[in-house]
Amino acid sequence: MKQTLLSFFVGSMILTSVAFAQDKKVSGRVTGADGKPLAGVTIAVQGSNLATQTDANGNYSFSVPTGKVIVFRSIGYSDKTLIVKEGQSAFNVTLDNSDNELEEVIVTAMGITRSEKTLGYSATKIGGDELAAARNTNVLSSLAGKVAGVTVNSTGPAPGSASSITIRGYGSMTGSNEPLYVVDGVPLQSTTFNTQGNTIQGGGISAVSSDDIESMTVLKGAAATALYGSRAANGVIVITTKTGKAGNGRNFSIAYNGGIQLRQVSVFPLMQNEFGQGWNGQQTYIENGSWGPRLDGSQQVFGPIWNNQQLFHPYSAQENNAKDFFDIGKSFNNSVSFNGVSEDRKMNYYLSYSNVKDDGIMPTDADSYKRNTIAYRTSYQAADWLKVSSNLNFNTSKTDVAGNYQGTSIIDGLLELPRDISVIDKKDLTNPFNTPEAYFTPYGVTNPYWALANNYNRLNSKQFNGKLQLDIKPIKELNLTYRFGFDHIDYDRKVGTPEINLDDKLIDNDYGYAPSNMNQSGSVAASYGRNYELNHDFLATYDKSFDKFSFTGILGMNLNERYATSMNGTTESLALYEGFWQLSNGATRSVLGESQSKRRLIGLFGDMTFGYNETVFLNLTARNDWSSTLPVEKNHYFYPGATLSWIFTNNLPKNSILNFGKARLAYGKTGNDAGVYQTSARYIQAAAAGYYAGSIAAFPFNNKNSFLLSTQNGSNTLKPEMNQEFEAGVNLKFLNSRIGLDAVYYSRTRTDQIFPLSTDPATGFATIVTNVGNVRNRGIELLLSTTPVKTDKFRWDLDLNLTVNKNKVVSLPEELGGKFQVNSFSAGNDAVYMYAEEGKPLGTFYTYLAQHVDDKNSEHYGKLIVGEDGLPILTPDVQSTGKNIQPKWVGGATTSFSAYGFTLSAALDIREGGYMFSRTKNLMQFTGNGIETMYNDRNPFIIPNSVVDNGSGTFSENNNPIKMSTSGLQNYWNKTGGVDGGQYYLLDRSFRKIRNLSLTYNFPKTWVNSVKLSDIALTAFVNNPFVWTPKSNKFIDPEGSTGGMGLDGQFGELYINPATRIYGFNVSLKF
Amino acid sequence: MKKIILPLLAIAIGVTSCKKYLDINVDPNSPSTENVTSNLILPGVEMNLATSYGNFFRILGGYYSEQYAHLFGTSNYVDYSQFITSQTRSSGTYTQLNTRVLNNLQTIREKSVATNSWGDNLAATTLRAFTLQALVDAYGETPYSEAWKKDILAPKYDDGDAVYKGILAELDDALSKVSDDTPVIESFLFGKSTSAEWIKFANALKLKILMRMSKVQDVKSQLATLISQNNFPAEDVAWAGIWADETGKANPYYQEEFAAYFGSTQKNVTLNLALSAVMEDSNDARLSAFFDKNKDGKFLGGVSGTNYSTSKLYKAENFNRPAMRYDSPVYLITKSEVEFFLAEYYAKNGSAAVAKTHYDNAITESFLSAGLKASDAQNVITGTYAYNNANYAKLIGIQKWVALSGTNNFEAWCELRRLKYPAFGTVNGAAIYNVANDVFKPELLVPGTLYTPIDVFNTVGNNQLLQRIRYAQSSTNANSNAPAVKPDKEPVFWAK
């Protein structure tokens, strides 16, 4: 925090710096009112960027020009100013406690800095140190549970996985719900790839090294984000990077931060250990599940007879057989920075290098992420009216993915492993019994070790982004800025699946289902692309204060262009089976495709802030955008915003109970344009889909090409969608700021949403891009910050946050069924749909349900109806489950204890309520591996409270036990979901997690200084040490999803890899 | 301040005049609408129809007509073999037929009317009528009068009989505008040709439509006129000779069920006992043309309703998969079907001798389609299933069901629902195969009868065929005018 303040303080002074004639060395000691030394007090020369800080003993020493004002400033204390006069060199200063704690500066829209106390909207700032503490490779993960109203959704546990963030709930039904990430005033592209159930990021926010971040500010409401234009409809995360600073007693400093981490499986499905390989109670040698007889320890053969050989093993439980596959993933991270200021203080520079190598829980590097980042930033005050600055970042990343999908993936191979078969015996891939050649089952799954060795999925990406900025100050009150921002990402991806080509010639008995059924042609899919964004900002800022009034006005213009191009090729029937992942390897065909898209946006905006007596602030903003993605004749739209804040404690008598109080109101609108190329119907190259395969007929076909109308229709009457938000809040500080409360109520509606609405295909189109729908999010956010104990030696901080968001789809056209399908899963006759439905929260689940007697006059009212087979009868069409993805509330707590250089901190994250689809849960029933399949010890039973339909509207009590002869028990779990129907796929998403537990020791300054360093800190930590889930969840960590970043990704998971816990150790050194 | 405001104003003015800068929203990945001519559209339409009708509908029809049973082990279509239907199963096919097929045919029809290209109009109208008939035959009712109109977002469903009448009128109209030498769009069906073949195809389709209607409506005079013209296809109407042994290029049914192109382990379809019983009983050579022999060189039909998952005796290699090859034709309508319709027409209208000729022709044509010789048909024509006008419905029913088992199983399910033959016998699936004891008694089934599948619970009931498939989820979910799902036992209009 103090570091942060220093840099802004310096930054605000820099513009008026002048050359100095004569420097003088001054020194002294700073103490508090209690006479104790104050460390870390900033001492700066007004009108220059000269500054230093006091050491641990409150001592300071630096050179200042004579006749200049120097300012002593520290959080929680009043500023003190002095003028250095000729002949004076020692100043001992005492700072008084103050209520100026809110003098914190926040970077708001367009890189504009404002004092937090004047803001009329929610803006939450997280310091870089806090973000870096958990050493998360993806810095967004560190936000989890820390900011009210902000939800971090991890897309998966694998290294390199992207995280998505939603601020104040889901508003967009199909578009992005991601906030805009802005680094030093420049928007950052988000380039994510969904690949085999993983969402990985090529560049973007997840490639920013957390050690480079000075602070992250979350701007939540529309009033705060309006100036950023269309892309800010989901909020903005403003990232300010570190700049060069003078070190302790020198012009520069060097910092190193690095550590190692060990990663292990944290949550794995609970499995039964009573029954082994088989089906319907009988042993079958090639089954991929555990519906066989009770395990009895007898010696049994299993798998096919291959070349007159067959495997045998004791028919007994291998308790951790699936979990044993995973190993400890080792990760390393290092970052080093060199930074400082020039002798004349006109220039500062910051150069850093970071690398990360994460290895996941799979054996080998098949799940790994490597990243190297170089960042260089500098600014030069060429004259008191001219400053040039630049910021350049370059990173490369390599992500290897162990895919999650049905079939020959590692995870499916593990989850479908019978309880009596050991996986670690299958490591030797030279043994045909461990390859598809003679693997024990040919039912679609294979040896996880073989899958690990033979599948390939790699993303290589490079990102170059940054800015060049010019600031001119023609007169004292006016600042003109031109900023050129750029972000260039290029990537190459390759996904390879191996060929399986077996002829079964060595199979003597396959027990009926031959290994050659596993045959697949093998494929290589390659994709190369580049995405760039060019961004120009012109800003004029005018500042003026007179008497009790202050005025800041901003006029600006923004030009933005985004372009994406990619080429992709696929080939199949590989000639070389292993390891040659090249398009030239395809024996039968190679298909090439390409794609380009380009969009442009022009924005004009203005912002005015009026202040009265440092007490009341009124802010008005307005922006008009012209977008290339809207119909040309109506491609512009206007949106305003206004905020009002009143520091009412300035009008109250000073008191020590309520030392600060601010009330605020905000209203804002943000317009949003369409996706590219949605204003007309389009022709695309013809293809036909089969029932399972995506493309059964591909063109060119038989020497003919063909184009068909896209199944999505565009609209030439699209208008921009509007995001409208009202917010009211208070900030209160009690007892000398020992207790702080930030409370907000907000109501946000997103109207005229532009999205491809599902229509009856008989309209000619499966979806029509149109403006429909209105989604509202209403909620409260509470942030309570406390320091329960604060003594010289000991400090305890405790922050609590709580968010309650009520989401509702206010309207969707009734003629289109009043609902819209966001995502779905269907397999055979099972189906779970996730809808946006009028009058309900977004993400309502529909599925086939068990039927109950619905005649209220019947004595059997409410009872379950079963059929002749004793099993529930499901509804003929899908029904609302009343369950949805939305949590009732989310909350978090962070706490830290500091004493004698030790800091112990913990972060708790809670999500209460909401549901998700879980294929893992379903698979535990399908395979009979899950512990729930032990119900009634697998004996037949009559479903309690069930009736049979007599056919004439009457019912009688059911006496039929579940019919066992035809897979009754499996069907009970797998077809009718017990008595729940398709709801059985749904999983309570609640969790309570300790996100992070860490212990840091800061070595005593005296000792540190004696080894010529200024800081040494050692940290040991655990991420996700504890995860609590409801009893009903015996399967997964419910945080992950395999569906991607958007609302659709909240649908749930298909074959997700298990979640992980990380143990880490870290060293931080500063010179 | 002026210094600042003026340049900004200039920028603002610049912005309003830079529409050009923003007028870039034209998809470079998509050809412009004007350049896409009918002959660029039709091949894609044909392949989408071939995929939906020749794959999804064919598999479903095979199970629902007890020509197919489920292979050992896998369970992908066990529900079909238990006469189960769901809204989910057909959703993708319904979407594909309506969007990629019918909507694009609509474009060709509009283009051809605008340019007086009446041959193209006939081709598009015929494929449209064919597709719509299949939709009615499967679902009973389907959007028609309000469909494929961009401004109607919730098209109502039309009764099957209204759709039938509509497409008949469309066919008559399209036929009235062409003669044999009218130029026509090049197609995969007929290659470069004139309208003659499309006229014959349209006539065959009209015959199928009218014969389906004939049981519930009086269409005698229309049938008489059509049949007197005697202008039916000289060859099977099928996509043949266009397939290659590659992903995306082979027969669609072969690709999904038989090839390993997609890493498929989905070997599901096998010969049904009901079919093998009839064919072996009549020593029908088509059995080995329609189905591959098992590892013992024999035929063993499976039972509907089970996948023998716990059987120790009945493994995949004991059964017989359909003899599909990468280049197997996708049939739209065969000469055999036309002959069967004619036989039925004459049988009902009192010309027993003519009926017999067509009946014999129908069986002979079926043998020829199967790649066999006309003489191979003799033992069927002269044996148990020799023609006998008193028993025409049963004979035509059974033999048509047999003939369609190798070419077009969906039509087999339709005709089974209409002709009601083969009928259900007295033995049921559970008696034929005892799942618990793994005892298989195929000899219990009387040849020429059907049986209630094992595990038919709570759906159609005993001795009942499934009469329709449930409306597609992709429709009912998004269309407030979609009717409530009708009972699985409710016949489509022509099967009442």
CA distance B195 to B183: 6
Domain limits at B453? 8-495
- pLDDT computed for residue A727 by the predictor: 94
Q: Say whether residue A879 is in contact with chain B using an 8 A CB cutoff.
A: no
Token reading at A477: 């009150």
The answer to whether A587 and A575 have CB atoms below 8 angstroms apart is yes
Is A881's pLDDT higher than 90? yes
CB atoms B41 and A706 under 8 Å: yes
Residues in A 80-109 with any Cβ partner in B closer than 8 A: none
Of B29, B93, B315, the CB nearest to A595: B29
Residues from chain B that touch A284, judged by Cβ atoms under 8 A, are: 309-310
- pLDDT computed for residue A101 by the predictor: 44
Token reading at A895: 């706490």
- pLDDT computed for residue A8 by the predictor: 36
Of A626, A689, A707, the CB nearest to B15: A626
Give the DSSP H/E element, type plus range, for residue B60: helix B57-64
Is A10's pLDDT higher than 50? no
- pLDDT computed for residue B264 by the predictor: 56
Q: Which ranges of A168-269 does DSSP label H, i.e. alpha helix?
A: 222-225
Q: Give A783-811 pLDDT, tens digit per residue.
A: 999 999 988 889 999 999 999 999 999 99
CB atoms A760 and B436 under 8 Å: no
Residues from chain A that touch B102, judged by Cβ atoms under 8 A, are: 762, 764
Is A190's pLDDT higher than 70? yes
Q: What is the DSSP letter of A874?
A: B
**pLDDT: which is higher, A208 or B103:** B103
Instruction: Let me know if residue B229 belongs to a domain.
Output: yes
Q: Identify the weakest region by mean pLDDT among A173-177, A413-417, A996-1000, B4-8.
A: B4-8
- pLDDT computed for residue B265 by the predictor: 57
Q: Say whether residue A517 is in contact with chain B using an 8 A CB cutoff.
A: yes
- Which residue is closest to A574 within chain B, CA to CA? B261
- pLDDT computed for residue A48 by the predictor: 67
- pLDDT computed for residue B263 by the predictor: 55
Kindly state the average pLDDT of the residues A176-200: 89
- Which residue is closest to A712 within chain B, CA to CA? B99
Residues in B 261-280 with any Cβ partner in A closer than 8 A: 261-267
Instruction: Let me know if residue B93 belongs to a domain.
Output: yes
- pLDDT computed for residue B316 by the predictor: 76
Q: How far is CA A48 from the centre of its chain?
A: 40
CB atoms B470 and A819 under 8 Å: no
Instruction: Let me know if residue B2 belongs to a domain.
Output: no
SS3 state of residue B277: helix
CB atoms B256 and A596 under 8 Å: no
Instruction: Let me know if residue B418 belongs to a domain.
Output: yes
- pLDDT computed for residue A1069 by the predictor: 93
CB atoms A696 and B255 under 8 Å: yes
CB atoms B256 and A696 under 8 Å: yes
In this structure, what are the phi and psi dihedrals at residue A477, rounded to the nearest 5 degrees? -85, -10
Q: What percent of chain A has pLDDT over 70?
A: 94
CA distance A626 to chain B (A): 8
- pLDDT computed for residue B376 by the predictor: 96
CB atoms B154 and A816 under 8 Å: yes
**pLDDT: which is higher, A268 or A579:** A268
Q: Say whether residue A814 is in contact with chain B using an 8 A CB cutoff.
A: yes
Domain count, chain B: 1
CA distance B185 to chain A (A): 13
Q: What is the pLDDT along chain B (496 residues), one digit of tens a residue?
A: 445 555 555 555 565 557 788 999 999 999 998 899 999 999 999 999 999 999 999 999 999 999 999 998 778 899 999 999 999 899 999 999 999 999 999 999 999 999 999 999 999 999 999 999 999 999 999 999 999 998 899 999 999 999 999 999 999 999 999 999 999 999 999 999 999 999 999 999 999 999 999 999 999 999 999 999 999 999 999 999 999 988 889 999 999 888 877 655 567 999 999 999 999 999 999 999 999 999 899 999 999 999 887 787 777 778 899 999 999 999 999 999 999 999 999 999 989 999 999 999 999 999 999 999 999 999 999 999 999 999 999 999 999 999 999 999 999 999 999 999 999 999 999 999 998 888 999 999 999 999 999 977 767 888 999 999 999 999 998 899 999 999 999 999 999 8
> Residue A294 burial (CB < 10 Å; 0-12/13-18/19+)?
exposed
Task: Using a cut of 0.80, tell me whether the model's pTM lies above it.
Answer: yes
The single residue listed with the structure tokens 């991890």 is A154
CB atoms B55 and A690 under 8 Å: yes
Residues from chain A that touch B309, judged by Cβ atoms under 8 A, are: 279-280, 284, 967
Helix, strand and coil percent figures for chain B, each rounded to 5: 50, 5, 45
- Which residues lie across from A709 on neighbouring strands? A683
Of B243, B246, B263, the CB nearest to A407: B263
The answer to whether A265 and A1036 have CB atoms below 8 angstroms apart is no
- pLDDT computed for residue A14 by the predictor: 34
CB atoms A829 and B309 under 8 Å: no
Token reading at B185: 């769009």
- pLDDT computed for residue B420 by the predictor: 96
- How many other β-carbons are positioned within 10 Å of the β-carbon of residue A647? 21
The strands making up A1052-1053's β-sheet, listed across from edge to edge, are: A986-988, A915-918, A1052-1053
CA distance A471 to A385: 8
CB contacts < 8 A, A to B, total 356
Is A100's pLDDT higher than 50? no
SS3 state of residue A925: helix
Is A933's pLDDT higher than 90? yes
Residue B308 belongs to domain with CATH number: 1.25.40.390
The answer to whether A523 and A559 have CB atoms below 8 angstroms apart is no
Residues in B 344-373 with any Cβ partner in A closer than 8 A: none
Q: Say whether residue A683 is in contact with chain B using an 8 A CB cutoff.
A: yes
Is A459's pLDDT higher than 50? yes
CA distance A558 to chain B (A): 11
Q: Say whether residue A817 is in contact with chain B using an 8 A CB cutoff.
A: yes
CA distance B374 to B381: 11
Q: Which ranges of B146-234 does DSSP label H, i.e. alpha helix?
A: 160-176, 196-213, 220-229
Q: What is the ipTM of this complex?
A: 0.94
The answer to whether A577 and A499 have CB atoms below 8 angstroms apart is yes
CB atoms B41 and A708 under 8 Å: yes
SS3 state of residue A688: strand
- How many other β-carbons are positioned within 10 Å of the β-carbon of residue A711? 18
pLDDT band for position A840 (50/70/90)? very high
Token reading at B253: 């049914």
- pLDDT computed for residue A744 by the predictor: 95
Instruction: Let me know if residue B101 belongs to a domain.
Output: yes
Q: Say whether residue A480 is in contact with chain B using an 8 A CB cutoff.
A: yes
CA distance A452 to A447: 9
Q: Identify the weakest region by mean pLDDT among A663-677, A765-779, A954-968.
A: A954-968
Instruction: Let me know if residue B1 belongs to a domain.
Output: no
The answer to whether A7 and A43 have CB atoms below 8 angstroms apart is no
Q: Say whether residue B10 is in contact with chain A using an 8 A CB cutoff.
A: no
- Which residue is closest to B157 within chain A, CA to CA? A762
Residues from chain A that touch B470, judged by Cβ atoms under 8 A, are: 876-877
Instruction: Let me know if residue B394 belongs to a domain.
Output: yes
Is A1's pLDDT higher than 80? no
Residues from chain B that touch A689, judged by Cβ atoms under 8 A, are: 51, 92, 96
Integer Rg of chain B from CA: 25
CB atoms B44 and A682 under 8 Å: no
Of B91, B99, B470, the CB nearest to A711: B99
- pLDDT computed for residue B6 by the predictor: 55
CA distance B398 to B422: 5
Instruction: Let me know if residue B14 belongs to a domain.
Output: yes
Q: Give A773-783 pLDDT, tens digit per residue.
A: 899 999 999 99
Is A120's pLDDT higher than 60? yes
- How many other β-carbons are positioned within 10 Å of the β-carbon of residue B13? 10
- How many other β-carbons are positioned within 10 Å of the β-carbon of residue A564? 18
CB atoms B309 and A280 under 8 Å: yes
Nearest CA to A1071 out of A344, A333, A250 is that of A250
Q: Give A41-90 pLDDT, tens digit per residue.
A: 778 776 666 777 787 778 888 877 766 778 787 765 667 777 776 666 77
Is A16's pLDDT higher than 50? no
SS3 state of residue B79: helix
Give the C-alpha distances (Å, rounded to integers) separating A406 from A1031, A1050, B71, B264: 27, 19, 21, 12
Q: Say whether residue A513 is in contact with chain B using an 8 A CB cutoff.
A: yes
